[in-house]
Amino acid sequence: MRTFNYSKIKEEKWDSEILSLIAAIYKEAGKQEMYLKQRPQELEKLVEIAKIQSTEASNAIEGIVTTNTRIKQLVTEKTTPKNRNEQEIAGYRDVLNIIHESFDAISITKNYILQLHKILYSHMNNPIAGKTKTVQNYISATYPDGHVETLFTPLSPTDTPIALENICNEFNRVIGNMEVEPLIAIPTFIHDFLCIHPFNDGNGRMSRLLTTLLLYRCGFYVGKYISLEAKIAKNKDLYYDSLNDSQHNWHDGNDNKVPFIKYILGTILSAYKDFEERFNLIETKKSALEIVREAIYIKIGKFTKQDIKELCPSLSISSIEGALRKLVNLGEINRVGNGKNICYYRIK
């Protein structure tokens, strides 16, 4: 069976790209801490947006979808699930809320992970909820001609419980002893979790929830304000490619985690950069027109009023609509489409 020793991470010689990413993340995390003290009320609006985006994106990666209106209603708990997809979405919302509110009280243990998995399926009658897998699972790809290829075979069901316990113990040990850099230990843990693939269903969503939990517990709170799941969804192919590249020889302990570590660190840094952009728009004491004008220069290509709302959470939708109309009349942006399909793009 695969063994785990996270102390070996200390022996690795990380390349300049990884070291630069880590340094940049610490710099951005320091700035964020300062920002949070300045405008806490406005930043709470970013939390609401991030929760909706995270719940929508993480489920959509797995093909679990509903309408935009229903997603917002489910996340804000203004409705109840109507079907299986919405039951799974509501379960993700519940786990994410628990992590947001109680991350410091959730230890990284097998039992807590099983408990979170059970909550993930709490809106449906699912006998596998909160239990490790009972049958062998496979990570496969379906190609355009219809043939299916197995890319990776995770651990067997019998080896899974102890392996899940072992990676939790290893993570806690090296973090507790301050033996390993957390920004290396976190993607290492998530990579091993995905290679173990401990559940019959829900592994991808659990891995993204655990990423947020581990980051929070190590003092990196960017996922609270900017959805990491939405960023992963936008670069889904890169996510799967980096995971696939890092899985080779995993069973022998000779895997190369570098591609996956770089992907996760790049995603975290990108989220911090987005946070800074949005904070700058919140911080400015300008008119709605000027704030929206600054926001459209962050966007490239077509954008919607909802895109601007995400960048300018301090503004109401009516203020944003008014500012967009003025910018159209001023000849700074063009409006195309009708009804729900209306979008805009910069003229210069």
DSSP assignment of 56-92: HHHHHHTT----HHHHHHHHTTSS---SHHHHHHHHH
Q: Rounded to two decimals, what is the model's pTM?
A: 0.89
Give me the pLDDT at residue 316, please. Answer: 84
Q: Residue 299 region, left (φ>0) first, then alpha (ψ -120 to 50), else beta?
A: beta
Residues of the chain with CATH 1.10.3290.10: 13-281
Residues with Cβ within 8 Å of residue 123, at least 6 apart in sequence: 81, 87, 88, 90, 91, 94
Using DSSP's 3-state secondary structure scheme, residue 248 falls into coil
Total H helices, total E strands in the chain: 14, 4
Query: In this structure, which long-range contacts are made by residues 59-64, counting pairs with CB atoms below 8 Å and at least 24 apart in sequence?
Result: 59/85, 59/88, 59/89, 59/92, 59/205, 60/233, 61/204, 61/205, 61/229, 61/232, 61/233, 61/236, 62/204, 62/205, 64/88, 64/89
pLDDT for position 283:
65
pLDDT score of 311? 85
Closest CA to 245 of 235, 232, 258: 258
User: What span, in angstroms and rounded, lies between the C-alpha atoms of 115 and 129?
Assistant: 9
φ/ψ of 345, rounded to 5, equals -150, 150
CA nearest neighbour of 313 among 273, 276, 279: 279
The pLDDT assigned to 162 comes to 98
What is the pLDDT, as a whole number, of residue 247?
96
Please, are residues 231 and 157 in contact by the beta-carbon 8 Å criterion? Answer: no
Amino acid 145: pLDDT: 85
Span(s) in the chain for CATH 1.10.10.10: 287-346
Class of the CATH-defined domain 13-281: mainly alpha
Rg (CA), the chain: 21
| Both structure tokens of 165 | 């316990």
C-alpha to C-alpha distance for 119 and 86, rounded to whole angstroms: 14
Q: What is the dihedral of CA 217, 219, 224, 229, to 10 degrees?
A: -70
Among 187, 228, 213, 202, which residue's Cα sits nearest to residue 101?
213
CA distance 339 to 342: 6
Low-confidence ranges of the chain (pLDDT < 50): none
Report the 10 Å Cβ neighbour count for 138: 12
Question: What CATH number matches the domain at 287-346, 1.10.3720.10, 2.60.120.340, 1.10.1740.10, 1.10.10.10?
Answer: 1.10.10.10
Please give the pLDDT value at position 160.
Answer: 98
Tell me the C-alpha distance between 71 and 90, whole Å: 9
The gap between the terminal CA atoms of the chain, to the nearest Å, is 59
Which amino acid, residue 156?
Answer: S
